[in-house]
Structure 1
Amino acid sequence: MPAASKTNRQLFKTTWPFVAVVASLLALVATSLSIMSSVRAYIGGESTWSKGQKDAVFYLIRYAQTGDEKAFRQYQSAIAFPLNLKRARLALDGARSDLGTARQALLESGVDPADVSSVIWVFRTFRRDSFFEQAVTYWTRGDALVEQLVAAANELRVAKAAGRSGRNEVDSLTAEIWNINAAIAPISRAFADVLGVAFRKTALLLLVVNVVVAALLVSLSVWYARRFITARLASEHALRRSEARAKATLGSIGEAVISVGPTGLVEFINPAAERLFCRDAAGCVSRPLTELASIAREWDRRPVDLIEQALRGEQPWDASTDLVLTNVHGTETVVQAITSVVHDTSETITGVVLLLRNMTREREYVSELSWQASHDGLTGLLNRTEFERRLFASLHAQPGIEGAQRACMLMMIDLDQFKVVNDTYGHAAGDTMLREVASLIKNCLREEDSLARLGGDEFAALMFDCDEQTALPIAERLRQQVAAFEWSCETHKLSTSVSIGLVDLRGLDTETAMRFGDIACYLAKERGRDRVHLAVRGDKELTRHASAMSWCGRIKDALANNRFCLYEQEIRPVDSAGSHASKQHPRHVEVLLRMVGENGKIVSPYHFLPAAERYGLMSAIDRWVVRAVFATLERTGNPEGIQYAINLSGASIGDERFLQFLTDQFEISRVDPASICFEVTETTAVANLAAAARFIRDLKERGCKFSLDDFGAGMSSFGYLKHLPVDYIKIDGGFIKDMLKDAVSRDMVAAINDIGHSMERLTIAEYVESEAILQALGTMGVDFVQGFHVGRPALWAQNIEFLEVT
């Protein structure tokens, strides 16, 4: 909204009460004058009426005496005034006022044209007022006498026309005229007296009203002036408080604030500005800013005058630009400036407020944060992120840049048995060991090498301008010094050793280099620890480990993205007289896991399960399979009462949390435990017999079945079978495939079958791939068979995207 419009609106809000009272007073005065003028007009009308009546009597008497027709005409002219006033009264006093007739009659009766409207308004407004009604009554009685006078005049004219014969009648009419005149006189005086009293009372009333209105106006003026003064004082008090708060706020903030007037002289500075300029406020006020300090751009030291630019109305200074402020003592401070131009209501520049932000602490924070982002907080070495950034930069240097083709080596260092120190002496001792070893490693490396702590007890060094012949002696010397180093932890002497992997970085990318370094370090540990292993291209063991690590990543990706599927393979009863399998035994199938690879290709478990076992992913896979089987059965049901066999790994068998997981899954899905058969391998069960027996017993109490898989592959004794309450024994497929050609294998199958039956276990033969093997197994009395000849694996759970892998 424009300033002029705001001012006018504020002026109207301030003055409208006075304007309203004055307007009311003026209206009252105008009304009073109108009433007084109307009363005056009535008094004048009464004078006109009385004079006309008297003149009419005078001319009638003269006419009676002389018979002069001129006198009679003068009578008629005089009597017209009272008659017109009567006509006006009758026009106004009727049921419906005839304003036109009344106006014409009043004009003809001699009333001033300016007073006609007031006379009509007063008659219509105050007709029922006691004074006015009394006056109208006298007016009516006077009009009646005037009518008698008119009648007498008419009779007189007739008598005069009769001559001598009418002389007596003329004398009688003359006497009557004098009587009518005598009767009119007191009525006229009474009418005038009533109007006089009304005039005086009206004047008094109007005076009282005007005095009251004047007093109201004075009271309103006093009240409004008091209110205005009170508001002004409150505004001034609020302004002083606001000014005090503003000064307190400006004094408490850390940024320097300088207020400059339109002439460029300083008007105010806060304490932060005093500290920045090394001057007190009194020494800065009324002086130009350029005398207090100089300001220049940081990158080129070019002076800038922020105040002059702002006063000229130029673009505001970029607040993100760093400036250098030099005070009178020569102290330099990096600042950022914000200028705000102050305008008045007419948009004229009245000053500039300059805010200077001291960037010293921010720069310290940025430097500290930058260091923290790239360094390990415990050892002060580079962290993994910064190390991988430097490794990437060194491997992707553009050809032609100096040092781009130089040889570089990656050294991966891992402390041996660090977990023992943490578990035995506590994490404080472990942290002390890491700091001591980090310092020792750093001293063994060259100045130009980059050393980092990757996490836990893992370190890495990037060695520039270094080949295998240079790196191996450095790594060996480092290994020896760490092995010989001891430090005290309370009353104990602690020592450690390191396993070191070396990788030549030429021709590698960042991911491959880090993977090869991890593998080289792992091989050093696997071969006995406290040694250095150089990763050589073409090394089969290195390739095997790299492949396993690659599968590890693919397995994790498949778990995260639900890219597994389930197959089923039937386990069929052997139809023979010697079979222990009942024909009423439920249909039995084994659930087999497959990975969905690229382009939807199905990947056999023989490719990824070894990597999963090596890197501890079997328990996660087992959980995925259990969730998938239970969710599928919950969705589709099990109307045929099929028994599903699920393979479990040794990692799951020995994990108490996995047992609780199975319990939760049974409760969540409400799958019948009798429809689930868990398969565990013989080697897994024997490796931890007590845990396996407890695991099997807990689930069998719920109604689950168990099968001992690959029985005979690692067998040394049948005695442990007594401690494993399994329902099925699956004879290892290696014996089944060779049983027709190898008598020992055939005898082993027969022995396992007989012992299983003697312990009341059902037997299952795997890898049944021909009719001859099937008939031989039937002759032996094996209960169930499984293999390509009986039935190939077929896709079972096709749509498992609804699973939520957690």
Structure 2
Amino acid sequence: MPPKSTDRRLLAPQVVEQDALPLASRVPGVLWGLIAVGCGLLLTLWLYRIQARQWQAAQRDAVVAEAEKGVVQLRAKLRSAELLLRSLQTMFLVSGKMDAGQFARVYANLDPRRDFPSLLAVAYVVREPRSDGDHFPTTLVAPLDGNRNLLGLDVVDQPANLQALLQSRDTDRLAVSEPFPLVQDLGTSGRRQGITLRLPDFGPGDSLDSPAVRRQRLRGSIAISFRIADLIRTGLPAPLLNAARISVTDITRRPHVPLFDSHGGAPGAAPSIVHRLPFGGRIWELAVFPTEAAGSPPWPQSVAPAGILASVLLGLLVWSLTDTRRRAVELGRRLGERYQESEERFRTLNELLPALVVLADAADGRIVYANQAARGRLGESLAGSPLASVLEVDEVEVERRLASPETGAVELALHDASGGRFWASVSMSWLMLDGRPQWAMVASDVTEQRALTELLGYQATHDELTGLINRREFERRLQRVTQDVRESPPYAAVLFIDLDQFKLVNDTSGHVAGDQLLLQLATVMRARLGEEHVLARLGGDEFGVILAGLDTPAHAAELAEHLRRGLDGFVFVWETKSYMASISVGAVMIDRPGTPLAELLAAADTACYMAKEQGRNRVHFYSERDEQSALRRGEMEWANRLRWAVQEQRFVLTYQEVRALGAEPSGIHVELLLRFRDEHGDLVSPGAFIPAAERYGLMPLIDRWVIETALANVNRLHPAGAALRMVAINLSGASIDDETLAERIVELLRLHHVAPERVCFEITETVAVRKLADVIRFVTRLRDAGCRVALDDFGVGMSSFSYLKHLPVDILKIDGSFIRDMLSDPISHAMVRAVSDIAHRLGLVVVAEWVTDEAVMASLRDLGVDMAQGFSLHQPERVMFQRD
């Protein structure tokens, strides 16, 4: 039953004789009315002051909230500037040297003014040691327009700029300068303040573990410059700049330096928020000063109009009750008229409300009233209809809600006049009208809000370009599949898909074409797979598929091949060009419950890599018994370990002596051999990790480590010390392609004062034959510097001796496979003789590898071989400086 309510009735005026009134009632009614009005006005004033304070506090809170957003946005802007500078530093580290044309192209590709309109210039200064210390003239500037006067500028002439350069050099971190006048503003009416962000450019070498090493290795410095006020203004949101006065001050050291003030002048009040931003070795303080808000809320939104009206009505009421009978009857009549007018006004206002207002009789649940908004949305013929007819819930649920109405609003689906549905925030309550219990329902349309919430949820789990689910959602669904899979049918499988030659489309036709290709291929794959399987875009040109409900593993292979065939020969047309598209698919069966997600993804990635390596446009299923897959995963693991080994100094050098076979001693010759020290301290031979290093492009990095380490410690390699006559260092084919390596070697020889004739670099015959022109260029530069060059493993890939006439080498090393069999195999013996004779005619020193015993050495002496090495002659030993 509905709760009891007090029956509200209008107070009817009563006729009372003047003599029957008490003495207090004989006071004129106007005076009592004025007293009542005064009390009401005082109460209204008190409430108005409370409301004004709350309104001012809300205004200040809004400014503080906007300031917090501004701090986050400014911090992100500064971080983006640092990432821009990091990318430039990476360019210099990779390229070594860069001319003006390359620098301009790098600037054009990055297009930094797109994200940083306040950026003035990107510049590079080179370190020039002089008698009075290091100087740093500016050699590269982009863009040149407006910045030509920077070329040749010596940073030493700008103390604030120089201090940032030295700080970045000594810390190897981002450094920000103090504000200083900009060169670009020379000749203008006023020179504005600017800052530079700097990062060092170090030359190749060992780890930069001390300021002294960094100072020695500094090659130059990269900088980007801004007008500080413009940088800060573009980094702050416009609403914050409009709502408050913002000031930014550099408080790194006293005196503090003002950087930015959105309004200028002295602050009018204490800041609402003060935030410190550490950035590039400096500390900026951002202060927000609220603008003077009005002392009170807008008049129509305050309690004043209603309070004044209530005070006047109260005065009139008191006056009417205390005045004469005639005046009381007249006032009662007038109040009745005003009540009718107020009721009409209430009904009119209720009709104009945008919310849906519906009243229903509590006895039978039928609608007795609906305002204009409700009739327009729910139907004109609402009167007499059950309340349950407009709600998308059954009558039992409606009765439950009416029996115990919710304290707050709930979201329910309602039926509109056309039979459609929409979502509304619905509140229900009891009320008494004309002595009858009734239900009041007030509803506000929240369909758009719900759609926005659903859209945000969709965007969090789907790829914006293709509309497919993204990597996060894919991994979540895959995790659920791995938990539910059984060891018997139905099976499941995961596919890892990579587009073949996608980079070609991006490079030749641009990223817009690449995006269109991805969209078209995603549509084709979705159509081929159907709705029962999961398709996701994992990023870039990589897609993932979850095949569920498979009868047999062969079913997975059929679906994968069906998908591949659907894209085989797909023609993508963009403008005047056309491309043939295909995919490489790596697949792995999910046949064990609880298989780790990382293990599944790694296996699928490995299988996809194998598919591409086997010629692309094919499907490859991963198998733990597949030797190629196991080898590939092993090499991938080794690649990660080798990168860690370089960073953690886990490589070890050993040496093996090369002995002379003639009567005259030739001094001590050694060949350096590389070992890897694993996590347990055990040494691993190169045969275990060199193939992985070659496949994943790590050999240049390893070769540089060996060269720099050996030349820095050449007199600490062998117990003979400085008496060591020659040390041989092996070079890979990938290092030959590095055009800067030869010059780096010459630079290291000068740096460590190593006589070039003490160093020999060994290159295998297969590399020399395959890259003859590059090898000739490379070894010619080394031999011009005084180094020696050896041709290693000679005979393995030999098809002709003719190229030896054109290859400028000093030493020829016969491959050990011929030496090992020369006493038992006449062919091997004849080849060793032929190689020795031809090498001597060319003036080369001949070295035999894999020498096993004295009998082999005697035969080599008879054939005129000069030197020999092998485990029987000398077991490799760790170099002296690494024995501790």
Compute the TM-score of the two structures, normalised by the length of structure 1: 0.53
**Structure 2 vs 1, CA of residues 252 and 617 (structure 1 numbering), >3 Å: closer, same or farther?**
closer
CA apart distance, 1:734: 0.4
1:498 corresponds to = 583
Contact 2:669 2:725 in 1 (8 A): yes
Contact 1:451 1:461 in 2 (8 A): yes
String of CA shifts for 1:82-106, please: whole Å, max 9, x gaps.
Answer: xxxxxxxxxxxxxxxxxxxxxxxxx
Superposed counterparts of 1:349-368, under 5 Å: 368=456
What's the C-alpha RMSD, in Å, of the aligned pairs? 4.3
**Structure 2 vs 1, CA of residues 246 and 516 (structure 1 numbering), >3 Å: closer, same or farther?**
closer
Structure of higher RCO (CA pairs closer than 8 Å, 6+ residues apart):
2
Contact 1:407 1:464 in 2 (8 A): yes
CA apart distance, 1:390: 4.0
**Structure 2 vs 1, CA of residues 789 and 284 (structure 1 numbering), >3 Å: closer, same or farther?**
farther
1:303 corresponds to = 407
Superposed counterparts of 1:331-370, under 5 Å: 331=444, 368=456
1:737 corresponds to = 820
2:848 corresponds to = 765
**Structure 2 Cα separation of the partners of residues 633 and 302 of structure 1:** 86
Out of 739, 752, 757, the position equivalent to 1:656 is: 739
Q: What amino acid is the match of 2:407?
A: P
Superposed counterparts of 1:685-696, under 5 Å: 685-696=768-779
**Structure 2 Cα separation of the partners of residues 284 and 663 of structure 1:** 91
CA apart distance, 1:762: 0.6
2:767 corresponds to = 684
1:613 corresponds to = 694
Contact 1:632 1:800 in 2 (8 A): no
**Structure 1 Cα separation of the partners of residues 652 and 471 of structure 2:** 36
**Structure 2 vs 1, CA of residues 660 and 382 (structure 1 numbering), >3 Å: closer, same or farther?**
farther
| 2:590 is aligned with 1:534 | no
Superposed counterparts of 1:234-633, under 5 Å: 280-281=301-302, 303=407, 330-331=443-444, 368=456, 375-396=462-483, 407-466=491-550, 467-507=552-592, 508-576=595-663, 583=665, 585-633=666-714
String of CA shifts for 1:509-529, please: whole Å, max 9, x gaps.
Answer: 333322332332233333332
Contact 1:766 1:785 in 2 (8 A): yes
The 3-state SS of whatever aligns with 1:599 is: coil
Name the one with the larger strand percent. 2
Unaligned runs of 5+ residues in structure 2 are: 1-49, 67-294, 311-349, 357-403, 410-424, 429-440
**Structure 2 Cα separation of the partners of residues 333 and 667 of structure 1:** 77
CA apart distance, 1:704: 1.9
Name the one with the larger helix percent. 1
CA apart distance, 1:436: 1.9
CA apart distance, 1:791: 0.4
1:264 corresponds to = none
**Structure 2 vs 1, CA of residues 673 and 394 (structure 1 numbering), >3 Å: closer, same or farther?**
farther
Q: What amino acid is the match of 1:619?
A: P
String of CA shifts for 1:452-487, please: whole Å, max 9, x gaps.
Answer: 333443222122233423322222222122124323
**Structure 2 Cα separation of the partners of residues 713 and 728 of structure 1:** 16
String of CA shifts for 1:114-141, please: whole Å, max 9, x gaps.
Answer: xxxxxxxxxxxxxxxxxxxxxxxxxxxx
**Structure 2 Cα separation of the partners of residues 786 and 520 of structure 1:** 42
1:715 corresponds to = 798
**Structure 1 Cα separation of the partners of residues 470 and 58 of structure 2:** 47
String of CA shifts for 1:417-464, please: whole Å, max 9, x gaps.
Answer: 223323333333223222222232233224243333334432221222
The 3-state SS of whatever aligns with 1:524 is: helix
The 3-state SS of whatever aligns with 1:775 is: helix
Contact 2:638 2:692 in 1 (8 A): yes
Percent identical among aligned pairs is: 39
Compute the TM-score of the two structures, normalised by the length of structure 2: 0.49
**Structure 2 Cα separation of the partners of residues 374 and 668 of structure 1:** 56
CA apart distance, 1:729: 0.6
**Structure 2 vs 1, CA of residues 785 and 667 (structure 1 numbering), >3 Å: closer, same or farther?**
same
CA apart distance, 1:488: 1.9
CA apart distance, 1:386: 4.6
Q: How many residues align?
A: 485
2:103 corresponds to = none
Q: What amino acid is the match of 1:763?
A: V
Contact 1:728 1:761 in 2 (8 A): yes
The 3-state SS of whatever aligns with 2:546 is: strand
Out of 772, 775, 787, the position equivalent to 1:704 is: 787
| 2:837 is aligned with 1:754 | yes
Q: What amino acid is the match of 2:711?
A: F
The 3-state SS of whatever aligns with 2:642 is: helix
CA apart distance, 1:719: 1.2
Unaligned runs of 5+ residues in structure 1 are: 1-238, 256-267, 295-299, 306-323, 335-358, 577-581, 802-806
**Structure 2 vs 1, CA of residues 672 and 444 (structure 1 numbering), >3 Å: closer, same or farther?**
farther
**Structure 1 Cα separation of the partners of residues 62 and 763 of structure 2:** 77
Deviates more, 1:476-485 or 1:449-458: 449-458
Contact 1:565 1:800 in 2 (8 A): no
**Structure 1 Cα separation of the partners of residues 302 and 548 of structure 2:** 58
**Structure 2 vs 1, CA of residues 464 and 737 (structure 1 numbering), >3 Å: closer, same or farther?**
same
Q: What amino acid is the match of 1:771?
A: E
- Give 1 or 2 for the bigger CA radius of gyration: 1
Superposed counterparts of 1:189-228, under 5 Å: none
String of CA shifts for 1:478-514, please: whole Å, max 9, x gaps.
Answer: 2122124323210122221112122112234333322
Q: What amino acid is the match of 1:759?
A: L
Q: What amino acid is the match of 2:543?
A: F
CA apart distance, 1:651: 0.9
**Structure 2 vs 1, CA of residues 386 and 247 (structure 1 numbering), >3 Å: closer, same or farther?**
closer
CA apart distance, 1:378: 4.4
Q: What amino acid is the match of 2:701?
A: A
CA apart distance, 1:284: 9.7
**Structure 1 Cα separation of the partners of residues 672 and 496 of structure 2:** 42
**Structure 2 Cα separation of the partners of residues 665 and 520 of structure 1:** 43
The 3-state SS of whatever aligns with 2:494 is: strand
**Structure 2 vs 1, CA of residues 410 and 284 (structure 1 numbering), >3 Å: closer, same or farther?**
farther
**Structure 2 vs 1, CA of residues 677 and 390 (structure 1 numbering), >3 Å: closer, same or farther?**
farther
CA apart distance, 1:742: 0.6
**Structure 2 vs 1, CA of residues 247 and 412 (structure 1 numbering), >3 Å: closer, same or farther?**
closer
1:164 corresponds to = none
Q: What amino acid is the match of 1:610?
A: P
Q: What amino acid is the match of 1:501?
A: G
**Structure 2 vs 1, CA of residues 513 and 248 (structure 1 numbering), >3 Å: closer, same or farther?**
closer
Contact 1:771 1:789 in 2 (8 A): no
2:727 corresponds to = 644
**Structure 2 vs 1, CA of residues 502 and 325 (structure 1 numbering), >3 Å: closer, same or farther?**
same
CA apart distance, 1:572: 1.3
CA apart distance, 1:565: 1.0
CA apart distance, 1:603: 1.1
**Structure 1 Cα separation of the partners of residues 789 and 507 of structure 2:** 37
Contact 1:647 1:678 in 2 (8 A): yes
Q: What amino acid is the match of 1:753?
A: S
**Structure 2 Cα separation of the partners of residues 739 and 612 of structure 1:** 33
